[in-house]
Amino acid sequence: MSSIIQLLPDHVANQIAAGEVVQRPASVVKELLENAVDAKASEIKLIIKDAGKTLIQVVDNGVGMSVTDARLCFERHATSKIRKAEDLFQLHTKGFRGEALASIAAIAHIELKTKQEQDELGTHLIIEGSKFLSQEEAVLPKGTSFSVKNLFFNIPARRNFLKSDTIEFRHIVDEFQRVALAHPQIHFSFYHNGSEVYILPQSNPRQRIVTIFAGKTNEKLVPVQEETDILKIDGFVGKPEFSKKNKGEQFFFVNDRFIKSGYLHHALMNAYEGLLKEGAQPSYFLFLNVPPQSIDINIHPTKTEIKFDDEQALYAILRASVKHSLGQFNVAPVLDFDRDANLDTPYHYKNAEVTYPTIQVDSNFNPFAQEKSASYSDKAKIKKQHHYEKERPMPTWESLYVGLKDDTDSIAESSGMQFESEEITTSLFENQDPEPQGNKTYQIQRKYIVNPIKSGMLIVNQNRAHQRILYEQFLGNMTLQQANSQRLLFPLQLHFPSHELHLIRELQPALTSTGFHFEEDTQDVTISGIPANVTESEVRSLLEELLRDLQDGIPGNSFSQSDTIAKSMARSLAVKNGAYLSEKEQENLINGLFACKEPDVSPFQKPTFITMRVEDLDKKFAL
């Protein structure tokens, strides 16, 4: 019997490995940027087209590679980082397994240009699907230029699973930010479809954070510093009042490597206990330095998860450090029982000179002189006046109407006028059961609205019902482009990172049709008009949630894009569960719901109301 098990060809093995390493264009960006950092580059440029589907190019001025290294780097498990198994626990670089370039070369067109400083000529390689097509010498600058074209060209099924350009671009921005934040001493530049996204000069960690996330980030940051035998913490956390609903600005770095750790995140959230609103997420940029032998970074193909030797100690140190920083910078409330705040000197009197009070005495004052000068007749007159006022009290309001009826009767008799009787008559149908005028609504737990109907009662979910109403309004406004807008007396200026500004400009026509009006600005977003049902305080949170929804799942065609925008805005502006509604608001909500085209479900295909018949209630009581 012939053997069943066979060795796979190299190109098939590389494609299988690519399934673990290269999941999307952002995976290629991560590997190439980390290789450029390991090459000791001081300047790194990232160029992409069509969100990385057409081109991903990373250019650096690092040490470069020789001719032999340029060929070997595309072989599986070829690496310069380790020589023996013990080196896995003494890693100080990014990549080390030697699978990334081989996997990328198996599923894309590769063009490599590299040159070392001591060499006169460099090496130019072209590879397609793990096949070397050409290798020649070329005049090149010091460093390496790595171009990846037509990703997944030989795996169409994998290419079909890629999301829209907006989503893929967002993932690339995430990877770029993680590498750029970990290495502020390197100059980074980022270009997408020929337009500039980021230019990050060499700086310190705080300035790098402010440059990437723009706006008023600097005033949001609280420094965190702690050094122990097993852990050193440097970085910044955000003030509680600047927290957001999403986790877009949360970064943990261990030995300059970005990681994801729910355990450490829980420690940090515990430090914010009592300072955040429900559902709010703080910003943090924390750099943890630990001995390399105390961690294992080889437990995940993308190396974003790390196993620690003593997680409990790290948890306690991180929690205590963040809590201490929040209290030290007066972000967390502090109780001081030894000081009375009422005894503090007011600020505007703090440096004022002390003025002593002066006493003025009238030496000619005689308290008996006035009493003697008053005559007996004057005293009698004053006494008589007081006695008269005492005997004649002020008239009350009832006295103003005394005799009014008699006067009215006399006027009527003299003029022959007749007044209609105001006596209350009883109903013609005394035995009729009282019925309420109209259907009265009731609110239960500030979540459901109950309305009696002929067959029983209607129970409406107020949040989902309002979502359906707003969704059809926004979608209709975007279709007809007839949205009502309210102009702001003072334009609202909002700050967003560069990649989000780029997305807002792309969506400006759709947002304008909903009622927003933008003024031209290259750095920030200046809003001069907002939709009629949006308040000025809701604009920022509305746009932030809209951007998050769009970056997570915006479809390709314009109609679906408008649909996504309408859904996101409806969810943000809909009345929340727990909000009190007056009886008039409840009726308007129900009337507006049943005026919709599809009142049965919310925009997210969830039921908006249920009906309960009288027969169903009778069955409940029959048990």
Residues in the chain: 623
Paired tokens of 442:
């009731």
| For residue 427, pLDDT beyond 50 | no
| pLDDT confidence of residue 102 | 83
Alpha helices in 481-537 (DSSP H): 498-506, 508-514
**172 & 212 share domain:** no
Residue of 179 and 484 predicted with greater confidence: 179
**Mean pLDDT throughout 298-320?**
78
**Mean pLDDT throughout 552-556?**
52
For 26-40, give the DSSP string: HHHHHHHHHHHHHTT
| For residue 12, pLDDT beyond 50 | yes
| For residue 201, pLDDT beyond 90 | yes
| pLDDT confidence of residue 343 | 52
| pLDDT confidence of residue 155 | 83
| pLDDT confidence of residue 431 | 46
**221 & 142 share domain:** no
CATH code: domain of residue 465: 3.30.1370.100
Instruction: Give the pLDDT band of residue 522 (cuts 50, 70, 90).
Output: low
Q: Residue 258: what residue type?
A: F
**456 & 588 share domain:** yes
**215 & 183 share domain:** no
Which range has the worst mean pLDDT, 66-80, 134-148, 173-187, 209-223?
66-80
Q: Which of 521, 489, 482 is nearest to 504 (CA)?
A: 521
> Can you give the C-alpha Rg of the chain in angstroms?
38
Domain that holds residue 523: 443-611
Alpha helices in 119-217 (DSSP H): 156-160, 165-182, 205-213
In a domain, 424, yes or no: no
Does the reported pTM lie above 0.75?
Answer: no
| For residue 579, pLDDT beyond 70 | yes
Q: Which residues are paired to 610 by β-bridges?
A: 459
CATH code: domain of residue 86: 3.30.565.10
From residue 106, alpha-carbon distances to 136, 153, 519 in Å are 21, 10, 47
Q: Rounded to an integer, what is the distance from CA 43 to the centroid of its chain? A: 31
Which range has the worst mean pLDDT, 173-182, 228-237, 321-330, 404-413?
404-413
Residue of 339 and 563 predicted with greater confidence: 563
Instruction: Give the pLDDT band of residue 303 (cuts 50, 70, 90).
Output: low
Instruction: Give the pLDDT band of residue 85 (cuts 50, 70, 90).
Output: low
Q: Which helix (H) or strand (E) holds 376?
A: helix 376-391
From residue 615, alpha-carbon distances to 346, 439, 469 in Å are 71, 20, 31
Which range has the worst mean pLDDT, 98-102, 250-254, 394-398, 566-570?
394-398
**39 & 177 share domain:** yes
Helix (H, G, I), strand (E, B) or coil at 363: coil
**191 & 104 share domain:** yes
From residue 471, alpha-carbon distances to 438, 467, 584, 617 in Å are 28, 6, 21, 34
Q: Which of 230, 226, 225, 227 is nearest to 291 (CA)?
A: 230
DSSP at 133: E
Average pLDDT, the chain: 79
The 10 Å Cβ neighbour count of residue 519 is 13
Rounded CA gap, 359 and 361, in Å? 7
CATH code: domain of residue 266: 3.30.230.10
**113 & 195 share domain:** yes
| For residue 338, pLDDT beyond 60 | no
**273 & 306 share domain:** yes
In a domain, 345, yes or no: no
Q: Which of 129, 122, 134, 109 is nearest to 56 (CA)?
A: 109
In a domain, 420, yes or no: no
Paired tokens of 247:
């986790």
**237 & 192 share domain:** no
Sequence-ordered list of residues with C-beta below 8 angstroms from that of 30, at least 6 positions apart, any chain:
175, 178, 179, 302
**253 & 140 share domain:** no
Tell me whether strands 43-49 and 187-192 are parallel, antiparallel or unpaired: parallel
- Examine the fold and report which residue of 168, 183, 200 is the final residue of a domain before the chain moves on: 200
| Longest Cα–Cα distance in the chain | 147
Residue-wise pLDDT tens digits, 339-365: 555 555 555 555 667 677 777 777 787
* Residues 140 and 113: beta-carbon distance below 8 Å: yes
How many structural domains is the chain composed of?
3
Rounded CA gap, 440 and 451, in Å? 6
Residue-wise pLDDT tens digits, 26-54: 989 998 998 899 888 999 999 999 989 99
In a domain, 266, yes or no: yes
Residue-wise pLDDT tens digits, 138-189: 999 999 999 999 988 888 888 888 888 888 888 999 999 999 999 999 999 9
The 10 Å Cβ neighbour count of residue 615 is 10
Q: Which helix (H) or strand (E) holds 403?
A: none
**151 & 233 share domain:** no
**Mean pLDDT throughout 251-270?**
88
Residue-wise pLDDT tens digits, 436-459: 445 588 888 889 999 888 888 889
